[in-house]
Chain A
């Protein structure tokens, strides 16, 4: 039973590290020392020790956002395996629950943003729902292709079915899925080229602007939720792309963690080497991701994989 809890604990502890690695990578490319690797942890600790300020125009809906967000992402963390570590819960269709737990987080962050009545936050909320309406199909259709390919709709069984050895046959589908999933990964985690997590310009923000009014522990919860989200989406991506199953739990897990950290490095490199897209050009990017997912599904149905 204990081993079932391991990934859950690992995820809780390790998630902010991915942000630290991205920031270190960016600093490296900019020729700076950058903040310490553990800075995201210090930030969370600092925020937990602060008081929160609430606007008089907000209602309890605003305060529900961070709590529901964190609970939802913790529930999602129960469903995802990593390397040789099984998830706490596994059942047929758990990945559908996974996707919609993320939708739940978004819903509450968005109504929390609308609750403040700020024009900035309303704008951010409009952008968030527009883009997520386009990224959700990419994710679900991609997962549908993998379900069809493996015959399982539970993460643990799905990943177990995929093998490095079977790349020759299922490669095209997993690669298409991985590209689509990577775009979704960047979108959901507000990274460049879709969003710029470092910008101070409210008018250009998507996710950041919706959480402008949160402070102290509430903001800490939101940052932590975002970090967990990044870890979990990353775990799904590498679960499909690099299915190492040597039978040795520790080796498989270590490999998966290394891949996860590499994913953070790649994200950092992308952020260091390209500009953000014009907001109008984000939907075409997400539609491309959806198209790739559909292509993966077609390949599976056509028996090419």
Chain B
């Protein structure tokens, strides 16, 4: 057997950047397609810009069977043959590459901008847009269905609810949706570019606000990248506190989502209960660090706030009560026929489509895919304590709601166990400078799904490239697919069942 062309490594295992294999583009293509065909998932695929004419493309693959990650790179000029026709899960990554690096993925079936920012290569633009002025979001050719009976509905960027901006365009025949096209980019802040030259005082704040509801998830991923680059050992107590915080974040968001799903179908009891219970879970995070969203808790080397045994007792006591409360609220959903009639068979995605699109997190587990970074690529606390992977097989709104409910139960049990078993000791290791010329990749299972951070340091130990892949980036296409041949009036329900991040995708 030929030696693998990839560099294989474990999650959060840093290595010298020379270890990233470089192969010619035709081989790169071949290897990636082969790996994807054999069930490996593309965790990230991006361009690392350089001053010269050639730019580097890097792909990170996740192999759930071996629990290892793989990395491969290639050099391209201004174009390469698109992988999307053979491997649909890279479709959005290639659009991102086209937008950032002005590299044309030839043969891409859906080549449109992702975030509507000027190219990182001044004066070059794949779409030939004027490089002097900033492009306007959503100015592009939308897919259109022609016909006498077809009508088009444009929703957003300003939404009815108090959520983030994004534009949705439906092609409908009567009430039936033939196609939904999603156009984001309204919240592009240029985070990835701003991180270059870091880490500095600002870096951690960027991380905490990548997606405001995933503060712990993204900050943990960043800190683990820094720790593996600086070879920091995080004390066990800090690992446990981080694990608890991550699960509390999951609990709050999943509970909020169950409530929001109920509100969308006008089912008041669960909507009212869950709104309150979500707040209670947020308050537990506040008990941990003084902030309901976990800002400033996780830091490189450990955590900033410790728990006393009294506050652990208090947390356990609240959790036991909340477990009962959330069970009442959730059981109301499953036992009310009018609710189940709305949830079941709405927005269905089959396992094949899920794998092809490379969905992650709750959306993937609701299609029956056993994909959970806490289990397959464990880091920190999850190396020592496991949470069972919760899946459901129907792929509809019910499955996405039910997987959330399963995870709520398991996260509560997990936190209660960890409170009992929390090791003593320091909560933070002293910070050290990052090692020069290395790279690290970290996957963390945020509440939405897999968060992937990649960092590469230069000779001075500063970031020369930083790539963030939010789970929403993988999953937005899933929402589009879920809406095919559905009722347009079910869109808000489907959208809520995914509850994807706009700013996490826009960066």
Residue A108, interface by CB 8 Å: no
Q: Cβ of A192 < 8 Å from any Cβ of B?
A: yes
* B272 with A201: CB separation less than 8 A: no
The interface bits of chain B over 260-300 (1 if a CB of A lies within 8 angstroms of the residue's CB, else 0) are 00101111110110000000000000000000000000000
- B488 — which chain A residues lie within 8 A by C-beta? 123, 203
Task: With A276-B266, A279-B175 as known contacts, state yes or no: A193 contacts B338, CB within 8 Å.
Answer: yes
Q: In the complex, what residues of A have CB within 8 A of residue B492's CB?
A: 201, 203-204
Q: Which of A192, A193, A203, A278 has the most CB of B within 10 A?
A: A203
Q: How large is the interface on B (under 10, 10 to 19, 20 to 34, 35 or more residues)?
A: 20 to 34
Among A200, A271, A275, max chain B CB count under 10 A is at A275
- Cβ of A166 under 8 Å from chain B: no
A119's nearest neighbour on chain B, judged by CB, is: B153
**Cross-chain contact B491 with A275 (CB below 8 angstroms):** no
Chain A residues 174-214 with CB under 8 Å of chain B are: 192-193, 196, 198-204
Given contacts A200-B161, A201-B160, A274-B267, contact A279 B487 (CB under 8 A): yes
Which residues of chain A are within 8 angstroms of B487 by Cβ–Cβ distance? 278-280
List of B residues within 8 angstroms of A123 by Cβ:
153, 175, 488
In the assembled complex, B341 has its CB within 8 A of some CB on chain A? yes
Write out, one digit per residue, whether chain B residues 169-187 have a CB within 8 A of any chain A CB (1) or not (0). 0000011000000000000
B49 to chain A, nearest CB (A): 40
Q: Are B338 and A274 in contact (CB under 8 A)?
A: yes
Residue picked from A198, A271, A273, A276, most chain B C-beta under 10 Å = A276
Alpha-carbon separation in the docked complex, A235 to B267 (Å): 28
* Known A30-B269, A203-B491, A204-B489: A277·B264 in contact at CB below 8 Å: no
- How many residues on the A side are at the interface (Cβ–Cβ under 8 A)? 32
Question: CA–CA, A280 to B486, complex, Å?
Answer: 11
Chain A residue at minimum C-beta to C-beta distance from B346 = A278
> What string of 1s and 0s marks CB contacts (under 8 Å) between B472-493 and chain A?
0000000000000001111110
Complex contact A275–B342 (CB within 8 A): yes
Find chain B residues with CB under 8 A from A301 CB.
none
The residues in B between 312 and 329 inclusive whose CB is less than 8 angstroms from any CB of A are none
**Contact residues of B between 135 and 161, Cβ < 8 Å to A:** 151-155, 160-161
Which positions 262-279 of chain A face chain B at CB distance < 8 Å? 271-279
In the complex, A120 has a CB within 8 A of chain B:
yes
Instruction: Contact check, A277 vs B272: say whether CB atoms are below 8 A apart.
Output: no
Beta-carbon nearest neighbor of B271 in chain A? A30
Tell me the nearest residue of chain B to A196, going by C-beta: B266
Q: Considering residues A31, A32, A126, A274, which has the most beta carbons from chain B within 10 angstroms of its beta carbon?
A: A274
* In the complex, residue of chain A having the shortest beta-carbon distance to the beta carbon of B161: A200
- A-B pairs with beta carbons under 8 A, tally: 84
Nearest CB of chain B from residue A219's CB, rounded to whole Å: 17
Q: Is A29 an interface residue (CB 8 A)?
A: yes
> Given A119-B154, A193-B338, are A272 and B160 also a contact pair (CB < 8 Å)?
no
Cβ-defined contact, A271 with B489, below 8 A:
no
Please name all residues of chain A whose beta carbon is closer than 8 Å to the beta carbon of B2 when the two chains form the complex: none
Q: Which of B460-504 contact A (CB under 8 A)?
A: 487-492
B336 close to A (CB within 8 Å): yes
Give B97 Cβ to nearest chain A Cβ, in Å.
33
A200 touching B160 in the complex, CB below 8 Å, given contacts A119-B151, A122-B151, A123-B488? yes
- A29 and B268: CB pair below 8 A? yes
Whether A202 contacts B155 in the complex (CB less than 8 A), given A274-B336, A277-B341, comes out as: yes
Q: Within 8 Å of chain B (Cβ to Cβ): is A148? A: no
CA distance A119 to B168 in the complex (A): 13
Residue of B nearest to A200 (CB): B160
B491: chain A residues within 8 A (beta carbon): 203
Evaluate contact between A275 and B339: CB separation under 8 angstroms.
Answer: yes
Q: A204-B489, A204-B492 are in contact. Are A199 and B266 (CB under 8 A)?
A: yes
Contact assessment for A271 and B272 in the assembled complex, using a CB-CB cutoff below 8 Å:
no
A120-135, CB under 8 A of B: which get 1 and which 0? 1011001100000000
Which residue of A has the minimal Cβ distance to B153? A119
A157 to B264: give the CA distance in the assembly, Å.
Answer: 45
Give the Cβ gap from A297 to chain B, nearest Cβ, in Å. Answer: 29
- Residues from chain B with Cβ under 8 Å of A280 in the complex: 175, 487
- Inside 8 A of A199's CB, which chain B residues have their CB? 264, 266
> How far, in angstroms, from A122 to B153 measured CA to CA in the complex?
10
CA distance A122 to B175 in the complex (A): 11
Interface centre among A126, A196, A201, by most B CB within 10 Å? A201
Q: Is A281 an interface residue (CB 8 A)?
A: yes
Q: Which residue of A lies closest to B493 (CB)?
A: A204
Complex CA distance for A271 and B82, rounded to whole angstroms: 52
CB atoms of A281 and B341 under 8 A apart: yes
Minimal beta-carbon separation of B269 from chain A (angstroms): 7
Contact B342 A272 (CB under 8 A): no
**Binary interface encoding of chain A residues 276-291 relative to chain B, with 1 for a CB under 8 A from any of its CBs, else 0:** 1111110000000000
Instruction: Name which of A32, A199, A204, A279 has the most chain B CB atoms within 10 A of its CB.
Output: A204
A7 within 8 A of B: no
CA distance A257 to B160 in the complex (A): 37
| Centre residue among B154, B268, B346 by max chain A CB count within 10 A | B268
**Given known A-B contacts A123-B153, A200-B160, A204-B492, A32 and B272 have beta carbons under 8 A apart:** yes
Residues of B within 8 A of A279 (CB): 175, 487, 489-490
Report whether B338 and A119 are in contact in the complex, using a CB–CB cutoff of 8 Å.
no
Bound-state CA distance A278–B490 (Å) is: 8
Chain A proximity mask over B330-349: 1 for CB below 8 Å, otherwise 0: 00000010110110001000
Task: Provide the bound-state CA to CA distance between A120 and B152, in Å.
Answer: 10
A106 on the B face (CB < 8 A): no
Q: Which of B154, B266, B339 contacts A271 (CB 8 A)?
A: B266
* Bound CA–CA A122/B172 (angstroms): 13
Complex Cα distance, B155 from A272, in Å, reads 29
CB of B336 within 8 A of CB of A275, answer: yes
- Cβ of B152 to closest chain A Cβ, rounded Å: 7
- Residues of the A chain whose Cβ atoms lie less than 8 Å from the Cβ of B151: 119, 122
Residue numbers in A under 8 Å from B336 (CB-CB): 274-275
Q: List 22 A-B contacts (CB under 8 A).
A: A29-B268, A29-B269, A119-B152, A123-B175, A127-B175, A200-B161, A202-B155, A203-B153, A203-B155, A203-B489, A271-B268, A275-B266, A275-B341, A275-B342, A276-B342, A277-B341, A278-B346, A278-B487, A279-B487, A279-B489, A279-B490, A280-B487
Those 3 A-B pairs whose CB atoms lie nearest each other, nearest first = A30-B272, A275-B267, A196-B266
Extra contacts, 17 of them, besides A274-B336, A276-B266, A279-B490 (Cβ < 8 A), are A30-B268, A30-B271, A122-B151, A123-B175, A123-B488, A192-B266, A198-B266, A199-B264, A201-B161, A201-B492, A202-B160, A272-B269, A275-B342, A276-B265, A278-B346, A278-B487, A278-B490
**B interface residue numbers (CB < 8 A to A):** 151-155, 160-161, 174-175, 262, 264-269, 271-272, 336, 338-339, 341-342, 346, 487-492
Binding site for B on A (CB under 8 A): 26, 29-32, 119-120, 122-123, 126-127, 192-193, 196, 198-204, 271-281
